[in-house]
Amino acid sequence: MWIWILTGLAVVFILYCFLPNLYSRNLSPFVLRKGSGEERKIALTFDDGPNPRYTPRVLDILKDYQVPAGFFLVGERAARHPELVRRMLQEGHTVGIHSYSHRHAWLMPPGTTYRDMGKSHRILSQIAGQAPRWYRPPWGTFNLMTLPAARKLKLIPVYWSIEAQDWEEWATPEHIHDAVMDLAKPGSIIVLHDSGGAPGAPEKTIAALPLIIEDLKKQGFQFTTLDRMKGASPC
C-alpha cells in the first residue's frame, strides 16, 4: 500500500512541480529570461521588498547614479508600505509581483496559486493606479498553474540570467560584486534582494551596489527597466 502512495506522490510532484518548473525556467516562450543581446543594455532587479530599513537606501543609490531598476514586491509588504511603492514608480522604476506572502510554488495547490497572484495584483493595482505587468515567483520556482494564472492576469513571468547569492549568510559584498561582473553580458537580467535572506543580508547588497553600477558603466553597459529593454526576448 505504501509503495502505491509514494508512487502516486512522486507522480504528482513530477507533473505538478518538477516538469513545469523545468519547462518554465528553460523553455517557455512566455517567460522572460534575458534581453536580445543586440545592445549593451542590462536590467537590474530586486526581489522580496519593500523593506522600510533597506529599500529606501537602495532607492537612494539608484537615484544618485540615475539607474532605473525593477522591483518584484511581496504583496503583504507592499500593502504595509505603499509609500515605498509609490516612490519606486515616481522615480521611474518598474514594479512587479513577487507573490503575496512569499510562499514556495511547490507548496501551493492550483487554486491557491491563482488567489495568491490575484491578491498581489489587486494590491499593486490599487497602490499604483494601474495594473502591474510583471511577475516573478519566489525562489524562481514554478508549478503547473503558474503560467496559466499569470496569463489570465496578463502578467509576463520573469526569471533572470545573473544571481549573486546575496541572500546567503556567507556572501560578502566582494562576492556579490564579482558574481555580477563575471556573468554580465548584453541583455542580462540581474536579480538582487532589498529584503529577506540571512539576517542583515541586504546590508551586503547595499554595500556592493555602488561598485556594481560603477563597474558596469565603465564596461559600457546602459541600465534599463524591463519595460524599456529593447528587443527583449524570452529565449
- At 24, list the grid cell: 518554465
Residues marked active site are found at 47, 193
Tell me how many degrees the CA angle 57-63-65 measures, rounded to the nearest 5: 110
User: What does the alpha-carbon distance between residue 133 and residue 70 come to, in Å, rounded to a whole number?
Assistant: 11
Helices 201-218 and 55-65 pack at an angle, to 10 degrees, of 10
176's grid cell: 556579490
**Cβ neighbours for 161, distance < 8 A, ≥ 6 positions apart:** 33, 34, 183, 187, 188, 189, 190
In DSSP terms, which residues pair with 163 in a beta bridge?
A: 191
For residues 206 and 194, what is the distance between their CA atoms, to the nearest angstrom? Answer: 8
Residues 6+ apart with CB under 8 A from 134: 70, 72, 94, 95, 96, 97, 155, 156, 157, 158, 226
Q: Rounded to a whole number, what is the largest CA-CA distance in the chain?
A: 64
Torsion of CA 171, 172, 177, 182, to 10 degrees: -50
Report residue 207 as a C-alpha cell: 554595500
Helices 82-90 & 110-128 angle (0-180, nearest 10): 60
